[in-house]
Amino acid sequence: MTLLVEISPPRFDVIVDLVYGHDDNFMGESIYGNARCFLHADAAACLELAVGYAAEQDLRLKITDAFRPSEAQWALWNHTPNPDYVADPRRGSPHSRGVAVDVTLLDVDGRELDMGGPVDDLTANGHHDAVGITPGQRANRFLLLGIMTAAGFDWYVNEWWHYQLFAPRRYPVLSDRAAGTGMMV
């Protein structure tokens, strides 16, 4: 039995706004019938650390994606089969294993820090080393990078918002049914 933990207050002092739970994403449509936020227990433990580190800086984390059932990964791949930005579901995504989280930072007033581009910017502007972002935007990306890596997450060079556990393939890919999340209904 795979242990997924629901990520929600009060245990996790985060804002959850799953981008694939509404139409404002690169696909232009919701892919979750019941958008809920889950992570594998190992990733949830790292997230708890990250929440604490962000709080020390008077910041909060906003989660835009976490566990993504394999059915959802197929929907993304069928729309945009580009392995630079969307994991091939035949290999499995860290999201479909419950060990990846997409996040940004919020200030004390609940405003997103300026990262120089939105989550799911599937262009070179979404890369950690994007050319053309301001020093302040780069500093915000580095602040997020520091918080997440100090908490035990690895990062993906093409997406400033994506963090995952090291060696994610040691975790199984899960369908919605196998995970018991009811997200795809």
Task: Render pLDDT for 166-185 as a digit per residue (tens, 0 to 9).
Answer: 999 999 999 999 999 999 98
Which is it for the CA torsion 49, 44, 70, 34, positive or negative? negative
Range of the domain at 39: 4-179
Residue 159 annotated to the active site = yes
pLDDT above 90 (res 2): no
Domain membership flag for residue 73: yes
The number of distinct structural domains making up the chain is 1
Tokens of residue 35, six digits = 């958008």
pLDDT of residue 52: 98
Domain membership flag for residue 174: yes
* pLDDT tens string 31-88: 999 999 999 999 999 999 999 999 999 999 999 999 999 999 999 999 989 888 889 9
pLDDT of residue 120: 86
Domain membership flag for residue 85: yes
pLDDT of residue 26: 87
* pLDDT tens string 87-129: 999 999 999 999 999 999 999 999 999 999 999 898 999 999 9
Domain membership flag for residue 62: yes
Residues with Cβ within 8 Å of 71's Cβ and at least 6 positions away in sequence, in order, are 175, 176, 184
Domain membership flag for residue 184: no
Cα–Cα distances in Å, from 139 out to 143, 155, 160, 174?
A: 6, 16, 12, 35
pLDDT band at 24 (very low <50, low <70, confident <90, very high): confident
How far, in Å, CA of 24 to CA of 30, rounded? 8
pLDDT above 70 (res 140): yes
Nearest Cα residue to 148 out of 36, 37, 63: 63
Angle, helices 135-150 vs 41-56, to 10°: value is 130
106 alpha carbon, distance to own chain's centre: 15
pLDDT above 60 (res 1): no
- The 10 Å Cβ neighbour count of residue 182 is 13
Domain membership flag for residue 166: yes
Tokens of residue 15, six digits = 């804002």
The pairing of strands 4-6 and 60-65 is: unpaired
* pLDDT tens string 145-173: 999 999 999 999 999 999 999 999 999 99
Domain membership flag for residue 63: yes
Domain membership flag for residue 185: no
pTM, two decimal places? 0.94
- Domain holding 117: CATH number? 3.30.1380.10
